[in-house]
Amino acid sequence: MTIIERPSTEVAIAGAVPVGVKPSEALGVFKRPAASSSWRDWVVTVDHKKLGIMYGVAAFVFFLIGGVEALLIRLQLIAPDGKVLNADQYNQMFTMHATTMVFLFVMPMAAAFANYFVPLQIGARDVAFPRINAFGFWCFLFGGLFLNSSWFLGGGADGGWFMYAPNSSTLFSPSHGVDFWTLGLQITGIASLTGAINLIVTILNMRAPGMKMMRMPIFTWMVLVTQFLLLFAIPVITVALFLLTFQRSFDATFFDVASGADPLLWQHLFWIFGHPEVYILILPSFGIISEVIPVFSKKPLFGYPVVAMSGAAIGFVGWGVWAHHMFASGLGPVSVTVFSMSTMAIAVPTGVKIVNWIMTMWGGKLTFAVPMLFAIGLVTQFTIGGLSGVTHAVAPSDTQQTDTYYIVAHFHYVLFGGAVFGLFAGFYYWWPKMFGRQLSESIGKWNFWLMVIGMNMTFGPMHILGLQGQPRRMFVWTEARAGEGLFNFGFWNRISSIGSFILSIGILLFIINIFYTHKMKKGALASNDPWDARTLEWMTDSPPKEHNFDVIPQINHLDEFFHRKYEQDSATHSVTQVHSADEVMAELNAHPDEHIHMPSRSYWPILLALSLPVIGYGLIYNRMLMAVGVAMVLLTMFGWAMEPATSPDEDFDPPESGDTHAKELVPHG
C-alpha cells in the first residue's frame, strides 16, 4: 500500500527540460515507448481516455463473470435442495459474486467514467498524474485477475464478501481462497487510492479558467466526493486486510479468540470501510443521472448547489453509520441507538437528491432516449431500495431482517437498480462521445425494459422471501420452512430465478447493441453533440482528440456549453437557440492553442503493477518468489523515478505512418 507514488519519483516539471537526464537513457533499459497505433500503445499509454476505456472494458468483463456467478446462484435456488452447486462451491460463488461485482465491476466502471470524463468536463487535457493513472489501472486489472485466478488454484474465497472473522482464519477456511481475496483486494485498493489522489488533484487543480467549484458539472462533483470517500476509506480496509493476512500467513493472533481476541474488531474495521464503500458505489451513478436528467428535460439541474452539497453531506454522514450492519452483533443498546439514528439521518440528504431530480423533470420538456430511461429507472428503483434501507435503520426491525433475503433485496435495489442503472445510463449517454457512433435506440429500449422487468422479478420477490424468513447465504432452502399455498418460497424463488435470466437477456442485448453498432456498422455516426447537452465534454470532437480540446475554453457559467448555444430572454424567460453546437466549436477553435504538450507513454506503470501479483503469489506459495516481486518493485520504482514525466520534444519518434495518433507537437492551425 505504501509503495505507491513517492514524491521522489515525482520530480519532473513538464516543459522544463531536466538537467542532465536524457529520458531515453533512463536506467538504460528501455527506450521510451513511442506513439503507435498497435495494441502496444494501449499497454504503455497514459492517456486518460484510453485508460478510461480499458477500465470500462475490463470492468464489463468482470461484470459478466460476476453475473454468471449470480446466475449459478439463482439456478441453485430455483427449487428446494438444489443440486447445481455443492455447499462449498456455493459459498465461493456468492463470495466471489459480491467481491467481483463490488470491487471489480461497479468501482472500476465508475473509475472508467471518472477517468474519461472528469478531465473533459473540467476542461483539462489530462489528469494530474498520468503515469500514476496508468499504474492504477494496471493494479486494478492485475488485482482482479489475481483474485480470480484463485478459481483455478484450489477455489475462491468462501467467507462471504464481508469475510467475518474468525470464519476467515486458516482453521475455518483452509484453502488459499481467502489469501487470494485479501491480497487481491489489497492490490485493487492501491488502484483506488492512487486514483483518488489523482482525481482529487485533477479536479481541484486543473479546471479550465473560470471553472469555479460551483460551476463544475455535477458528475465531477460526485466523483470528487467519491474520491474523498475512497481516500479515507481504503486505508481502513487496508488495515483490516493486513491484520487478516498477518493472521493467516504469519500466525498473528488478531482474530484468534483463544488468545482473547474480539471478532468484532474485524466487523468494525470492515464496515467503517464498508459503509462509505456503498456510497462510493452509488454516488458516481447519482452524478451520471444528474447529467442525464437535465439534458433530456431541457432544464438545468434543479437546486444544483443543494445537490452538490447533499452529495457531500451523504459522504460525510456516511462515516457515522457503519454499525447499522452490526445491529445483531451484540453492541450495547446505546451504540445501537446512536447508529440507528444516524442511519435514518442519511435518508434526508438522499431524499433531497430524489426530490431535485423530480423537480428537474417538473416543468421540463422531456424526451425519453435510452439514457433518460435508465436515469428514471434509477430514480424509481433506488427509491424502493432506499426505503427498505430505512426499514433496516429501525434497529429492532432489523434484527428480524438482517441476514435474510430482505437485505439481499435492499442492496440489489440500490446496487443494481441504483448503481448499475446509473452506469447503463452513462453507457448510452456517453457512448457516442467515446466511440463516435450512436448505440441503437430501439435495441437500447429493449435492453432497458428487460432489465427493469428482470430486476424487479429477480429482486422484488426477495423482499417477501426475506420477511417470510428465508435467510441469505443458504446453499439450499428446504420445503419444510417454505410455507404453504401457492405463494410459498418455491413460487417466489422460481420467479426470482426466472427473472434473473430475463435480466441477463437484457444485459446480453447491450452487448448485441455494441456489435450491431460497431461490428455491423449499423449505428449512426455521432455528431459532436447528439443530445443537445450542456457540459464541456460535448464541446469537442467525438471521440475527442488526444489532447481533448484544441482550445481550453474560458468558463463563465454553470452548463457553459448550453449557454453558448442558447440564450434566455431575461424578461420573457423564453429560451432560444442562438448557435448550433458546430458553430460554437468553430468559434472556439478558431485560434487553437499552440505547443500542446501531452504526457508521454511509459513502460513503468504496467511493470510496477505487474510486480504486485508476483509478491502475492510469492506470499502464498513461495517466499523466494516474494523476494523477486519486491526486487521488481524496487527496480521499477527506480526506473520510474529516473524517467521524467514528459519527454522533451526531440525524444519523440515520428509515427511510422498516418498522423491520427501522432503527438500534438506542432501548432494547430
Partner 1 sequence: MSTVGTMKDRVAEPMKIMRRGRAALKTSLAVSALAFLASCARDAPQDTWQPAGPNAEQIDNLQRPVFYVAGVVGVIVFVAIGWAIWRYRDRGQAIPEQTHGKPVVEIVLTVIPALILLGVAIPTAGTIFKLAKTSDTEMTINVTGQQWWWEYDYPAVGSNEEQYGITAPIVTSGQLVIPENTKVLLRVTSRDVIHSYWIPKLNGKKDSVPGRVHLLRLEGAKPGIYAGQCTEFCGLSHSYMRMEAVVLSRADYDAWVANQLEAYTSPAAGTLAAEGEGVFIQQCSRCHQVNGLLNADGTPIISAPDQYIVSGVAPNLTNLMTRNTFAGASWDLLTPECREDVWKSDSVTFGAKYLKGVTTDCLNQKDLREWLRNAPLKKPMYANPENLAATGGKYRGMPALGLTEDQINSIVAYLLERK
Partner 2 sequence: MSTATTHEEATENHEVEHHGLSDKQYIVIALILAALTAIEVSTYYVDFGPFFMPTLLILMVIKFVTVVSYFMHLKFDNKIFSYLFYAGLLLAIAVYCGFLATFKFFLKQG
Partner 3 sequence: MAESAIAHDHGVSHGAHASSTGLSNNKMGMWMFLGSECLLFGGLISTYMLYRGRVSSGPQPNNIFDIPFTSVSSFILLMSSLTMVLAVSSAQRKDDRNTNLWLTITALLGATFVGGQVYEFTAFYREGLGFTTSLFGSSFYALTGFHGVHVSVGIIMLMALVGMNRNNRIPGDKAEVVELIGLYWHFVDIIWIIIFTLVYLIPS
Q: Within 102-131, which residues bind partner 3 (CB under 8 A)? A: 124-131
> Locate cell 435480466: which residue?
503
Q: Which residue among 218, 243, 331, 455 contacts partner 2 (CB under 8 A)?
A: 331
Please count the other Cβ atoms lying within 10 Å of the Cβ belonging to residue 564.
20
In terms of CB distance, is 490 or 648 closer to partner 3? 648
Q: Does 458 contact ligand HEA by CB under 6 A?
A: yes
Q: Which residue among 484, 569, 594, 659 contacts partner 3 (CB under 8 A)?
A: 594
CA–CA separation, 501 vs 490, rounded Å? 17
Q: Does 320 contact partner 2 by CB under 8 A?
A: yes
> Is residue 431 a contact partner of residue 388, using CB atoms and an 8 Å limit?
no
Q: Which residue among 55, 60, 94, 103 contacts ligand HEA (CB under 6 A)?
A: 94
> Is residue 481 a contact partner of residue 520, using CB atoms and an 8 Å limit?
no
CA–CA separation, 540 vs 585, rounded Å? 7
User: Residue count at the site for partner 3 (CB under 8 A)?
Assistant: 79
Q: Does 476 contact partner 1 by CB under 8 A?
A: yes
Q: Does 306 contact ligand HEA by CB under 6 A?
A: no
- Binding mask 111-150 toward ligand HEA (x if CB under 6 A, else -) reads ----------------------------------------
Q: Which residue among 123, 143, 294, 460 contacts partner 2 (CB under 8 A)?
A: 123
What, of partner 1, Cu ion, ligand HEA, none, does residue 503 touch, CB below 5 to 8 Å by kind?
A: ligand HEA
| Contacts (CB under 8 A) with partner 3, residues 257-276 | 258-262, 265, 269
Among left, alpha and beta (phi > 0; psi -120 to 50; other), residue 655 is beta
CA-based nearest residue to 100, from 152, 50, 48, 157? 157
What, of partner 1, ligand HEA, partner 3, none, does residue 552 touch, CB below 5 to 8 Å by kind?
A: partner 3
Q: Does 70 contact ligand HEA by CB under 6 A?
A: yes
> Is residue 341 a contact partner of residue 395, using CB atoms and an 8 Å limit?
no
In terms of CB distance, is 221 or 429 closer to partner 2? 221
- Binding mask 294-333 toward partner 1 (x if CB under 8 A, else -) reads ---xxxxxxxx-x---------------------xxx-xx
Q: Is 312 helix (H, G, I), strand (E, B) or coil?
A: helix
> Is residue 378 a contact partner of residue 293, using CB atoms and an 8 Å limit?
no
Q: Considering only 138-146, 201-209, 378-386, 634-642, which stretch makes contact with partner 1 by CB under 8 A?
A: 378-386
CB of 482 to ligand HEA, least distance (A): 16
Residue 593: Cβ-neighbour burial (10 angstroms; 0-12, 13-18, 19+): middle
DSSP 590-641: TS--SS---PPP-SHHHHHHHHHHHHHHHHHH-HHHHHHHHHHHHHHHHHHH
Q: Considering only 91-99, 172-180, 239-247, 523-531, which stretch makes contact with ligand HEA by CB under 6 A?
A: 91-99
CB of 361 to ligand HEA, least distance (A): 15
Taken as a whole, the chain contains a residue count of 669
Q: Supply 182's cell numbers.
A: 485479501
Q: Does 520 contact partner 3 by CB under 8 A?
A: no
| Contacts (CB under 8 A) with partner 3, residues 15-54 | 15-16, 18-21
| Contacts (CB under 6 A) with ligand HEA, residues 471-510 | 472-474, 500, 503-504, 507-508
Q: Considering only 144-152, 262-270, 484-492, 514-522, which stretch makes contact with partner 2 by CB under 8 A?
A: 262-270
Q: Supply 446's cell numbers.
A: 429493449
CB of 448 to ligand HEA, least distance (A): 14
> Is residue 144 a contact partner of residue 184, using CB atoms and an 8 Å limit?
yes
Q: Does 163 contact partner 3 by CB under 8 A?
A: no
CB of 110 to partner 3, least distance (A): 19
In terms of CB distance, is 369 or 408 closer to ligand HEA? 408
In terms of CB distance, is 423 or 585 closer to ligand HEA? 423
> Is residue 37 a contact partner of residue 601, using CB atoms and an 8 Å limit?
no
Task: Note the Cα 293 to chain centre separation in Å.
Answer: 20
φ, ψ dihedrals at 568, nearest 5°: -110, 130
Q: Supply 437's cell numbers.
A: 457512433
- Binding mask 251-290 toward Cu ion (x if CB under 5 A, else -) reads ------------------------x---------------
Q: Is 127 helix (H, G, I), strand (E, B) or coil?
A: coil
Q: Which residue among 154, 305, 330, 667 contacts partner 2 (CB under 8 A)?
A: 330
> Locate cell 459459498: which residue?
91
User: Residue count at the site for partner 2 (CB under 8 A)?
Assistant: 30
Q: Which residue among 161, 273, 357, 489 contacts ligand HEA (CB under 6 A)?
A: 161
Please count the other Cβ atoms lying within 10 Å of the Cβ belonging to residue 124.
22
Residues 6 or more apart in contact with residue 262 via CB below 8 angstroms: none
> Is residue 347 a contact partner of residue 390, using CB atoms and an 8 Å limit?
yes
CB of 111 to ligand HEA, least distance (A): 14
Q: Is 216 helix (H, G, I), strand (E, B) or coil?
A: coil
Looking at residue 23, the DSSP 8-state letter turns out to be G
Q: Does 232 contact partner 2 by CB under 8 A?
A: yes
SS (H, E, C) 147-186: HHHHHHCCCCCCCCCCCCCCCCCCCCCCCCHHHHHHHHHH
Q: Does 658 contact partner 2 by CB under 8 A?
A: no
Q: Which residue among 199, 218, 225, 272 contacts partner 2 (CB under 8 A)?
A: 272
Task: Note the Cα 614 to chain centre separation in Å.
Answer: 25
Q: Does 338 contact ligand HEA by CB under 6 A?
A: no
Q: Does 465 contact ligand HEA by CB under 6 A?
A: no
DSSP 439-466: PPHHHHHHHHHHHHHHHHHHHHHHHHHH
Q: Does 249 contact partner 1 by CB under 8 A?
A: no
> Is residue 625 a contact partner of residue 5, using CB atoms and an 8 Å limit?
no
CA–CA separation, 227 vs 398, rounded Å? 30
Q: Which residue among 319, 435, 516, 566 contacts partner 2 (CB under 8 A)?
A: 319
Q: Does 332 contact partner 2 by CB under 8 A?
A: yes
Q: Does 93 contact partner 1 by CB under 8 A?
A: no
CB of 244 to partner 2, least distance (A): 17
What, of ligand HEA, partner 3, partner 1, none, does residue 588 touch, CB below 5 to 8 Å by kind?
A: none
Q: Does 197 contact partner 3 by CB under 8 A?
A: yes
Q: Does 630 contact partner 1 by CB under 8 A?
A: no
| Chain residues that interact with partner 2, rule: CB under 8 A | 123-124, 204, 206-210, 212-213, 228, 231-232, 236, 262, 264, 268, 272, 319-320, 323, 330-335, 552, 593, 596
